[in-house]
Amino acid sequence: MPAPSLPGAQTQPASAPIDLPKTSQSPQLLRIRHSMSHVLALAVQTLFPEAKVTIGPWTETGFYYDFDHPEPFTEADLKAIKKEMGKIIARRLPLERIELSRGDAEARIRAQNEPYKLEILAGLVEPITLYTLGEGWWDLCAGPHVANTGELNGKAFDLESVAGAYWRGDENNAQLQRIYGTAWETPEQLAEYRRRKQEALRRDHRRLGIDLDLFSIEDEAGAGLVFWHPRGARIRLLIEEFWREAHFAADYELLYTPHVADLSLWQTSGHLDFYSESMFGPMQVDERQFQLKPMNCPFHVLTYASRLRSYRELPIRWAELGTVYRYERPGVMHGLMRVRGFTQDDAHIFCLPDQIGDEILGVLNLTEQILSTFDFNTYEINLSTRPEKSIGEDGVWELATRGLIDALERKGWAYTVDEGGGAFYGPKIDIKIEDAIGRLWQCSTIQLDFNLPERFDLEYVAADGSRQRPIMIHRAIFGSLERFFAIMVENYAGDFPFWLAPEQIRLLPVSDGALEFAADLQSKLRAAGVRSSLDRSGERLGKLIRQGEQQKIPLLAVIGAKEAEGGSVSLRSRRDGDLGTVAVAELLSAAAAANQQRAAGLNLPSP
RNA sequence: GCCGGUGUAGCUCAGUGGUAGAGCAACUGAUUCGUAAUCAGUAGGUCGUCGGUUCAAGUCCGAUCACCGGCUCCA
């Protein structure tokens, strides 16, 4: 019997997964998508002659085109446009490249009355090229394109959505209407693309957050403020416990600092000058103004400055799970990914200049250890160097940048360099992780800071008795716990490894006769530090199993008369299927060991 | 903040100006059951919020809040 298709069931592709080429990896696909955007523009101007064209590039999965059109495009319009595009493709219209002078191009654009094209022309260097599409329609374009629309597959494209977009990406400019589309070489690729979109939807942490009762965001409390429900809170606690353990092992100390502080602190730090738009407003308390903290760094800096420091103390490594609040504009919040209150796994290292390399290497090792525990094993590393507008002396920048490179090379991690991409106060390393469906997420960041030690006049006493400025390193591994949690939920699709599951084992009595034995087993599990629940609903086994699977419980333990008598359970694993009969003693020790080792599943002795 | 869309039961959704609905979940009862849904019953709503039009508003209009898809932003 085929497996029933259920919301909670794993969706497996029927055959081998189809490889989906990215535009940047396939010259032919690039031509297809580029031409497809011209076909879209022609279709729109055929149906809506008053629409003005602007730009229409390819994207990694398709293409879009921005139009200036007074009436918003509707879903029905999209359907009509798609139909018109189909007709254009079927006519096998040629696309021809024409090279012309600036004057000729300008004359042609004026004849068509396309104001945006005129603006684009002003920024182009000769030779100017345009591409025709059939008779009469053309667009300023560098290409390349397919030779004729017969190379486009009328069954391998779709229009996906309409969105607002600003002319030249500037919110002070006119708002245009962007039509997004996707296009592929074959209908099979389109189907696979749709399947992957479905898969991303299935993994959406906002969906899973509701289904698995992990967290919520409450209207009455405000947008972007997270309520962790018991199951989500338990997972977060497990993450935090592991994080603390790893930090102590890496010779960090932990800090707790206030959530608010006198506004002057943010004047000293400089945040008020260039960050105030992202801060919650100040509050008046007694005679002083207080500020909800958008960052933890000034607090760690104050802690450092609380007494005189010797060079013998350095490096100092202080970490804090610090909850910060930042004002995000309405309309930008997104589940747990972008919120107004979140917890950073922040740490600051104060060290001597010649300790930079070792310290950065230590951070890289700790980062790898922590991320790989959540099955993120593929990284993309970026090194950002000194920008034009920056503070600090050349020698310090060079020393610091060399320290970062030195650490990356000792770690053996390949990286790309973003010249001039650093912050004004120091160079940095950003780490992106790849998830189970190939998406990249930037979580970890390591930044050197020459600014804050200066502003707060941080010092240590050197060997010769002189006062020197320490080097400050900011680093976060998860970045934001909320956001990392969301990424992790989507990476696992809600199927948490055993050690992270809020409910690890659900005990399912076949009938009420097994309840007593099950209750006894539950207290044994609790004593062993294993999280379990006992279903007393009296429902039939089939239903209990269905519910357990839908709630993605890692282990279901069926308990009937047989098991009660033999002191065992019949185990069913969400990842590995039926595990057969397991003695209670074995279950207890295997489950406790799995927790201890932070394992994905139990290691049971073979039967 | 900007463009477009959506707010009806815990969840998914139906309801085209005239008595607020379904499925699942919940609760109660019966059933005591062996690996993805037992049966029956009960309860659950200021239709996001505020204002307006109308004899009458879930439905039409306005404002507002939130969410969704984007844009912009994210030292």
A149 Cβ partners below 8 Å, 6+ apart?
Answer: A35, A39, A88, A89, A90, A91, A92, A93, A95, A133
pLDDT of residue A404: 96
Separation in Å: B12 C1' and A208 CA: 14
Relative orientation angle of helices A102-112 and A115-122, to the nearest 10 degrees:
160
Continuous H helices in A91-152 = 102-112, 115-122
Tokens 């629409």 locate to: A51
Domain co-membership, A155 together with A51? yes
Residue type, A222: G
Q: CA at A164, C1' at B24: how many angstroms apart?
A: 37
Among all strands, which nt has the closest C1' to A556 (CA)? B35
Residues A398, A518, single domain; the answer is no
What's A589's domain CATH number? 3.40.50.800
Report the CATH number at residue A83: 3.30.980.10
Q: Which of A66, A205, A291, A297 is catalytic?
A: A297
Which is nearest to A242 in space by CA: A159, A345, A145, A318? A345
Q: Is the dihedral of CA A174, A179, A184, A189 positive or negative?
A: positive
CA of A8 vs C1' of B11, distance in Å? 14
Q: Which residues of A256-279 are buried (b: 16+ CB within 10 A; e: fewer)?
A: ebeeebebebbebbebbeeeeeeb
DSSP letter (8 states) at residue A574: T
Based on the structure, what is the number of domains in chain A? 4
- Say if residue A433 is in the same domain as residue A313: yes
A546 in catalytic set: no
- Does A8 reside within a domain? no
Residues A516 and A541 in one domain: yes
Q: Which residue is nearest to nucleotide B32 (CA to C1')?
A: A511
- Residue A250: is it exposed, middle or buried by C-beta count within 10 angstroms (0-12/13-18/19+)? middle
Q: Between the CA of A332 and the C1' of B74, what is the distance in angstroms?
A: 10
Claim to verify: residue A61 and residue A187 sit in the same structural domain? yes
The range of the structural domain enclosing residue A121 comes to: 23-203
- Per DSSP, the residues of A370-389 read HHHHTT---EEEEEE---SS
Active site residue A326: yes
Residue A303 lies in a domain: yes
**Does A1 map to a domain?**
no
A472 and A439: one domain?
A: yes
Beta bridge partners of A64: A180
A216 found inside a domain: no
**Residue A474: active-site member:** yes
H helix intervals, A493-600: 515-527, 541-550, 561-566, 584-597
pLDDT tens profile A294-334: 999 999 999 999 999 999 999 999 999 999 999 999 989 99
What pLDDT does A597 receive? 97
Residues A516, A464: one domain?
Answer: no
Q: Do residues A325 and A425 both lie within one domain?
A: yes
Looking up residue A370, the CATH number of its domain turns out to be 3.30.930.10
- Return d(Cα A197, Cα A191) in angstroms, integer: 10
Same domain, A193 and A233: no
Which nucleotide's C1' atom has the smallest distance to the CA of A72? B4
The residue out of A266, A292, A318 marking a domain boundary is A292
Q: What is the predicted pLDDT for the residue at A3? A: 33
Complex confidence, ipTM: 0.94
* Known catalytic membership, residue A447: no
A145 counts as catalytic: no
Set A66, A77, A139, A346: catalytic member: A346
Q: Closest Cα partner for A386 from A333, A428, A327, A427?
A: A427
The residue count of chain A comes to 607
User: Which position among A34, A145, A326, A506 bears the catalytic label?
Assistant: A326
Q: Which of A38, A52, A428, A506 is catalytic?
A: A428
Q: Tell me, what's the pLDDT at A16? A: 55
Q: Specify which residue's alpha carbon is closest to the C1' of nucleotide B72.
A: A171
Which residue, of A492, A513, A547, is where some domain finishes? A492
Position A2 in a domain: no
Answer yes or no: do A326 and A264 share one domain.
Answer: no
Write down which residue in A441, A476, A492 finishes a domain: A492
- In strand B, the nucleotides that come within 7 Å of a protein beta carbon are 1-5, 11-12, 26-27, 30-38, 65-75
A345 beta partners: A321
Answer whether residue A53 is part of any domain. Answer: yes
Q: Tell me, yes or no, whether A245 and A371 share the same domain.
A: yes
**Residue A18 maps to a domain:** no
**Closest nucleotide to A3: CA versus each C1':** B36
CB A269, CB A298: distance < 8 Å: yes
The three-class DSSP label of residue A237 is helix
Q: Is residue A396 part of a domain?
A: yes
What CA–CA distances, in Å, run from A557 to A7, A365, A459, A594? 22, 39, 60, 16
Round to a whole number and report the distance in Å from the CA of A221 to the C1' of B52. 29
| Interstrand relation of A505-509 and A555-559 (parallel, antiparallel or unpaired) | parallel
DSSP state of A600: S
CA A536 to chain centre: 39
Token pair for residue A572? 């069913």
Rounded (to 5) percent helix, strand, coil in chain A: 40, 25, 35
A333 alpha carbon, distance to own chain's centre? 14
Same domain, A253 and A263: no
Q: Look up residue A203 and give its two tokens.
A: 């993994």
CA of A294 to C1' of B12 (A): 38
Which residue positions in chain A have pLDDT lower than 70?
Answer: 1-17, 607
Whether A344 sits among the annotated catalytic residues: the reply is yes
